[in-house]
Amino acid sequence: MCTPGKRVCRKAPGVRIPAHPPLNIVKVFFEHMSDFWRLVFGLAGKAGGNKTWSCEINSFQDYETGYHKLAGLLGYCEKTGSAGEIDLIRALLERRRFFAGSLSLADSLFLAAFVSILKPERILEIGTGAGFSSALMAAIMSPKSGRGAGVCVDTIDAHDRYFGDQELAIGCEIPYLIPDLSKTVRVHPSRESNFVRSLAKNNELNMVFIDANHQHPCPLLDVLQVAPCVRPGGWILLHDILLGTLGEEARNNGAETQFGHPFGAEWLFNSWRCKKIGGGNIGAIQLPKNKKAIVSVAKELMRLPFEVAWQSDRRLRREIRECFALP
Ligand SMILES: C[S@@+](CC[C@H](N)C(=O)[O-])C[C@H]1O[C@@H](n2cnc3c(N)ncnc32)[C@H](O)[C@@H]1O
């Protein structure tokens, strides 16, 4: 989800556009450009120009079948979930107290199955929030599934307060959800994705989860920042890959969307040229063998109108370009 109050969506009610005539002309131009590109990128995703595998797991009953399909897509056909995995996911979902910006049932099942199949040594997450997804991933990777009690999830958040309740710290839900395992999650408040390079070596990671600022081009910047640390063929999971479309549908049906409906994660997922798996509003993109191939996707995405406040435009363009020198 996007961060409240930071800005938003061009078309969302209450949008703050500077009262500056030349900028308003530019804004109108980009609004129409945005619709054009939205159509092109939407069609590209649907037309299968970039092959998207689909594996939605919408209920507990579907978990085993979905798990099996996902395992096949990831190249681990023989893999089965560990005993009690469904009960563990169910217990965490029932125990969760803070819902703002967090995962749905289908997102949670997809994420849990992905972690269980891939069994990475360590996962890096961008966007902690109250900490539900961190706790879920740590629980699935827990010592009961054959691991030591070392840190297995590093989670980064740009803020130190949970946006759903400013009284609470980032990651506040983790000790409550997984009291015995909370030390396996390391929370890094007030950091952004460029901090990843202090946490992991080049090509070290097999899996990263990105669920931070969804306004274009922030998810792209996050992917570029973490890419050096992800090994070729490794996976990056993106949350809210349908947020833009769902928000727009809601708006067309007369519903107010509180934080806008950014398309950043959706455009990124749709334009990805390497293997990708959609699980509904969550998806996974695989890093190519030659990571430099990401640069051409990034350049294409940079042509889309940015959804962040105009003041951040220049800085983000510079930061993205700096990432092009991928190792
Ligand atoms: C949707 S919440 C994360 C929810 C969490 N993954 C879960 O499932 O419970 C998004 C978080 O990203 C953080 N965030 C926003 N922009 C960010 C950025 N540029 N870098 C890192 N975190 C960011 C926000 O402070 C917020 O806590």
- 3 state SS for 58-114: CCHHHHHHHHHHHHHHCCCCCCCCCCCHHHHHHHHHHHCCCCCCCCCHHHHHHHHHH
Instruction: Give distance in angstroms: CA of 88 to centre of ligand 1.
Output: 24
Instruction: Give distance in angstroms: CA of 212 to centre of ligand 1.
Output: 4
* Boundaries of every domain in the chain: 52-322
Compute the radius of gyration of the chain from its Cα atoms. Answer: 19
Class of domain 52-322: alpha beta
pLDDT at 253: 87
Q: How far are the Cα atoms of 36, 101, 125 from residue 192, in angstroms, in the given order?
A: 31, 18, 10
The residues that bridge with 59 in the sheet, in sequence order, are none
Instruction: Give distance in angstroms: CA of 237 to centre of ligand 1.
Output: 14
Residue with CA closest to ligand 1 atom 11: 127
At 141, the amino acid letter reads M
Instruction: Give distance in angstroms: CA of 27 to centre of ligand 1.
Output: 27
Which residue, chain included where needed, has tokens 């945005």?
34
Instruction: Give distance in angstroms: CA of 213 to centre of ligand 1.
Output: 6
Beta carbons within 10 angstroms of residue 84's beta carbon = 11
Report the alpha-carbon distance of residue 87 to residue 91 in Å, rounded. Answer: 6
Q: Where are the strands (E) in 117-272, listed by range?
A: 123-126, 153-156, 185-188, 205-210, 230-239
The structure's pTM equals: 0.86
Residue with CA closest to ligand 1 atom 26: 129
Which residue, chain included where needed, has tokens 């080049």?
202
Pocket test for ligand 1, best of 6, 159, 162 (most atoms within 8 A of CB): 159
Pocket test for ligand 1, best of 3, 102, 107, 178 (most atoms within 8 A of CB): 3
* List of residues 6+ apart from 144 with CB closer than 8 A: 82, 84
Helix (H) or strand (E) holding 284: strand 282-286
Atom of ligand 1 nearest to the CA of 131: 9
Structure tokens at 147: 């691991």
Instruction: Give distance in angstroms: CA of 145 to centre of ligand 1.
Output: 28
Whether the Cβ atoms of residue 10 and residue 27 lie closer than 8 Å to each other: yes
Ligand 1 neighbours by CB, cut-off 6 Å? 1, 3, 101-103, 126-130, 132-133, 156-159, 163, 192-193, 211-213, 218
Rounded to the nearest 5°, which phi and psi values hold at 52?
-110, 125
Structure tokens at 1: 């989800």
Instruction: Give distance in angstroms: CA of 218 to centre of ligand 1.
Output: 11
pLDDT at 17: 35
pLDDT at 24: 53
Atom of ligand 1 nearest to the CA of 192: 20
User: pLDDT (tens digit, 0 to 9) for every residue of the chain, 327 residues total?
Assistant: 433 333 333 333 333 334 444 555 545 444 545 455 444 444 444 444 457 999 999 999 999 999 999 999 999 999 998 889 999 999 999 999 999 889 999 999 999 999 999 999 999 999 999 999 999 999 999 855 445 568 999 999 999 999 999 999 999 999 999 999 999 999 999 999 999 999 999 999 999 999 999 999 999 999 999 999 999 999 999 999 999 999 988 888 888 766 679 999 999 999 999 999 999 999 999 999 999 999 999 999 999 999 999 999 999 999 999 999 877
Q: How far are the Cα atoms of 221, 229, 239, 262, 318 from residue 155, in angstroms, in the given order?
A: 17, 15, 15, 22, 25
Residue with CA closest to ligand 1 atom 7: 102
pLDDT at 150: 87
Helix (H, G, I), strand (E, B), or coil: what is residue 54?
strand
Residue with CA closest to ligand 1 atom 8: 102
